[in-house]
Chain A
């Protein structure tokens, strides 16, 4: 995989910045894993931080990954934008081993970013962060009329949706007919 490991540069936030462990606790070396998004930038994340993601946690436990294997093969999340993955990784690091507070005011306010974050968090199964994101979405819904909600989130009306579906079917039918004709032409 061609990747730019940023364990020390852009992945710097991935270095754990947790509260100091209790002096009595035995020192256990922490293991680290690596993830990358669409931009192929690799983020180094501690196993503790990754506990937040049920998906990644499941991958680690079910695949029996060793740290060496993980280093050579970062978890590929090609469907998540790099900046969003960075945001997620930062959040996981910040909340590693800590009880999550009732509010999180650091979430993006712009609906595009929030949308990407909701999808990424849902995909990675990070329940607590999803709760915060959904609360943010709910705040944006509050007091809005159905028309305003449709406009803000670009949701088509049922009639528009049906029309678009019909159109897509028609187009697909035409394409299929075109392909068949082309195949027949090739055969000749």
Chain B
């Protein structure tokens, strides 16, 4: 395990949002963190990305506390795609992706062939090569998200942390982006850790699922073991049936909702 949390507590004020969480991120696999709004999943991700200093405990990267390592060295190993990155107005795709090379360049070091190669590879992997000269502001939401992933890839890290990468995307583009990330795992062996809102997509794309509730880990393991009707109820407060996804065989959560409860509306069952 290259990345792990050891009873880490994280928060912005006095009260910790993440409360003494310990976890291990399996190498070369996709780990997805799910949970209700405000359960601390994004906070945990920020803590693992060293954006947040732990109140207690530590996040360990390659055997050492991540906060005690030089941040630029960490940036060569651990990439991050935050929830709402800012694209400078008027910047072109290739220019933006090139900024992912930051940790590999000294303050006065010139642009190198290695930088070129990394940017080209990132554009290719994300199928954004033909967008290279376009201005980022003019891209569609799906294209823009691909470009941000390309920037993270240009950073050439073995681990990639993404905070809700599919927010603001329609369902087709969500699948598109998750397929892209899944492909990285296959082609580059990248360890991917991401926070997702959609439980069904999480169950489908995760090798390893972490369900959080109230700042603690409620369950962790393979999606088939984690996503059960009882747990969806306890973690999300949602009554649901869990069936097998006819396409992937992963658990599929079917919410029941107020109007389909057998007790409330006996007729609704047939509807």
Q: Answer whether A and B are interacting partners.
A: no
